Amino acid sequence: MNVAGLSIAGIQAGLKSRQFSAAELAGEALRFASEENPKTNAYLHLCPERAMETARRVDAELAAGRDPGPLAGVPVAVKDVIVTRGVRTTCGSKLLEKFVPPYDATAVVRLEQAGGVVVGKTNCDEFAMGSSNENSAFGPVRNPVALDRVPGGSSGGSAAVVAQGTAVVSLGSDTGGSIRQPASFCGVVGVPPTYGRVSAYGLVAFASSLDHIGPFSRNVADAATLLKVIAGRDDMDATSAAAPVQDYHAAMTGDLRGVRIGLPKEYFAGLESETGDRVHAAVDVLRKLGCEIVDISLPHTEYAISAYYIICTAEASSNLARYDGVRYTTRSSDAATLQDMYRHTRGEGFGAECKRRIMLGTYVLSHGYYDAYYLKAQRVRNLLTRDFQQAFEKVDAVVAPVSPFPAFKLGEKLADPLQMYLSDIYTITGDLAGIPCMSVPCGTTSAGLPVGMQILTRHFDEPGMFRVAHAYERAVTR
Ligand code: GLN
């Protein structure tokens, strides 16, 4: 059985025709994952007992003639910032090295109810802060496409396992690009939906007004299937939306005639590179499929990085205050007083990037600077959101690159955090506006490195986004 070549539809067909059982598939997926993982370090840990238990339940349902759900038997990997009951959840941090959550995130509950088999937890930047997966306390992830390169971040592990074939689909989280950028670097599909579309209950908080969960997959249809399962209102998360979950597959007609696609000039200026060429070539495909290509402007784009790194650090400084050595975390043994216990636990436990953000965030929220930085950044966020709203009066979708460059070499940007932040230029705008924005593979550079095209649509227009992505994918893989 070739786990690496399977799709959700292929698994459903295999189970129905009794080519394999869910337990056989889970066993093979776990074996393949432990064999391949040393190459990439993409999984932090596997959870064989839990996987086999779910798989056997699926087999029992099938044997009893019941429908185990749209993800029956599908091996799924989960980013280690999403909590799993009884299975360690480290957030890529030394502080939570031994943390075993007492509950499951809603997205995990839903995917298991649909028959999905959680096989393991994936590596990521510490508390999802980073763009290369090099901020993990448990070592970086290597890109399966080119092992000397980063897989992107922060959901680098979740992108790598899908690209490597050790999971069929996976869950990641996106705050400023952490699903799309690794998806583009590893050559897979990555989908951050509308903020609030998927419950964030059980997603460990980094920047709460931006954090959201979404799928990775090897094709557009699989991402749509997984998203449909995990989406929808959840009483455990007040920010989850009550809007009904649409039928994404029904939108994937292959017909793009008359669809208006906006190309924001701010995203293409200065992109004279192979990345730019690949995205332009993809736009030509969309044009041939009958799309009308319209030049647009998102004028406040240049302020996005500054606004994002103020808002996310402010929220992070508050969210990370809970790791104080009293709850959840390992505690420093080197402390005579309570103050020292806090200080040493946090000092020893957090990596450099988290400390940098806690300090910056504390500063921008401090009395006297709150108005000048935090409030101003929120105003800029409104302007960015309005840019998109105005664009969507003229076009149905916006198409842009995901990253200015393909996967870079391990260590290449580590010494310069500012360079790392600047690499998020094309992705953080979608998060600040809270709109759906997926990455679809659109070819490779001459060195064989994957490039991603970003498709952004109005709030809750996931159907429109999948429609464009699916038609494009079909046109180029046929
Ligand atoms: N690279 C961005 C950051 O470091 C985005 C991270 C994310 O989306 N979680 O904040």
Domain count, the chain: 3
Residue with tokens 């050790």: 166
Q: Is residue 154 annotated as part of the catalytic site, yes or no?
A: yes
Q: Which atom of ligand 1 is nearest to the CA of 179?
A: 8
- pLDDT (tens digit per residue) in 19-71: 999 999 999 999 999 999 999 999 999 999 999 999 999 999 999 999 999 99
Residue 176 CB less than 6 A away from ligand 1: yes
Quick one: pLDDT band at residue 80, thresholds 50, 70, 90? very high
The residue-averaged pLDDT of 457-477 equals: 98
Asked if residue 156 and residue 93 are part of one domain, the reply reads yes
- pLDDT (tens digit per residue) in 209-231: 999 999 999 999 999 999 999 99
Q: Among residues 472, 452, 436, which one has the least CA distance to residue 253?
A: 472
Residue nearest to atom 4 of ligand 1 (CA): 130
- List, as own/partner pairs, every contact residues 299-302 make where C-beta atoms lie below 8 angstroms and the sequence separation is at least 24, other chains included: 299/266, 299/387, 300/380, 300/383, 300/384, 300/387, 301/264, 301/266, 301/267, 301/384, 301/387, 301/425, 301/429, 302/266
Q: Is residue 227 part of a domain?
A: yes
Asked if residue 98 and residue 190 are part of one domain, the reply reads yes
- pLDDT (tens digit per residue) in 333-345: 989 999 999 999 9
Decide which of 322, 347, 372 is a domain's last residue.
372
Asked if residue 149 and residue 8 are part of one domain, the reply reads yes
198 beta partners:
231
User: Could you tell me which residues come within 8 angstroms of residue 269 by beta carbon, excluding any fewer than 6 positions away?
Assistant: none
Burial of 335 (0-12, 13-18, 19+ CB in 10 A): middle
Q: Is residue 381 part of a domain?
A: no
Asked if residue 147 and residue 233 are part of one domain, the reply reads yes
Decide which of 233, 251, 269 is a domain's last residue.
251
Question: HSE-up of 205 (CA within 13 Å, CB side)?
Answer: 17
Asked if residue 284 and residue 210 are part of one domain, the reply reads no
Helices (H) and strands (E) in the chain, counts: 17, 11
Q: Residue 218 belongs to what domain range?
A: 3-251
Quick one: pLDDT band at residue 75, thresholds 50, 70, 90? very high
Residue nearest to atom 10 of ligand 1 (CA): 129
Share of the chain above pLDDT 90, in %: 95
Statement: residue 330 has pLDDT above 90: no
Q: Is residue 383 part of a domain?
A: no
Asked if residue 75 and residue 221 are part of one domain, the reply reads yes
Q: Is residue 365 part of a domain?
A: yes
Q: Is residue 377 part of a domain?
A: no
Decide which of 372, 397, 419 is a domain's last residue.
372
- pLDDT (tens digit per residue) in 168-224: 999 999 999 999 999 999 999 999 999 999 999 999 999 999 999 999 999 999 999
How far from each other are the two terminal CA atoms of the chain, in whole angstroms? 25
Asked if residue 416 and residue 461 are part of one domain, the reply reads yes
Asked if residue 60 and residue 24 are part of one domain, the reply reads yes
Residue of 312, 315, 317 best suited for mutating to test ligand 1, as the one with most atoms within 8 Å of CB: 312
Q: Is residue 379 part of a domain?
A: no
CB 102 within 8 A of CB 88: no
Residue of 132, 428, 439, 454 best suited for mutating to test ligand 1, as the one with most atoms within 8 Å of CB: 428
DSSP 187: T
Q: Is residue 127 part of a domain?
A: yes
- pLDDT (tens digit per residue) in 135-159: 999 999 999 999 999 999 999 999 9
Asked if residue 412 and residue 463 are part of one domain, the reply reads yes
CB 437 within 8 A of CB 192: yes
Q: Are strands 437-444 and 397-401 parallel, antiparallel or unpaired?
A: unpaired
Report pLDDT for 303. 97
Q: Are strands 75-79 and 117-122 parallel, antiparallel or unpaired?
A: parallel
CB 199 within 8 A of CB 188: no
Q: Is residue 178 annotated as part of the catalytic site, yes or no?
A: yes
**3-state SS record for 52-91:** HHHHHHHHHHHHCCCCCCCCCCCEEEEECCECECCECCCC
In CATH, what number is assigned to the domain containing residue 159?
A: 3.90.1300.10
Q: Is residue 382 part of a domain?
A: no
Asked if residue 113 and residue 31 are part of one domain, the reply reads yes
* Distance of alpha carbon 309 from alpha carbon 192, whole angstroms: 19
Statement: residue 269 has pLDDT above 80: yes
Residue 154 CB less than 6 A away from ligand 1: yes
Report pLDDT for 44. 98
Residue 90 CB less than 6 A away from ligand 1: no
Residue with tokens 């659109």: 442
Statement: residue 289 has pLDDT above 90: yes
Residue 155 CB less than 6 A away from ligand 1: no
Residue 130 CB less than 6 A away from ligand 1: yes
CA–centroid distance, residue 346 to ligand 1 (Å): 21
Six-digit token string for 228: 């449909």
Tell me how many degrees the CA angle 28-4-70 measures, rounded to the nearest 5: 80
Residue 132 CB less than 6 A away from ligand 1: no
CB 45 within 8 A of CB 144: no
Asked if residue 242 and residue 138 are part of one domain, the reply reads yes
Q: Is residue 79 annotated as part of the catalytic site, yes or no?
A: yes
Asked if residue 207 and residue 290 are part of one domain, the reply reads no
Q: Among residues 224, 121, 221, 216, which one has the least CA distance to residue 174?
A: 216
CB 262 within 8 A of CB 395: yes
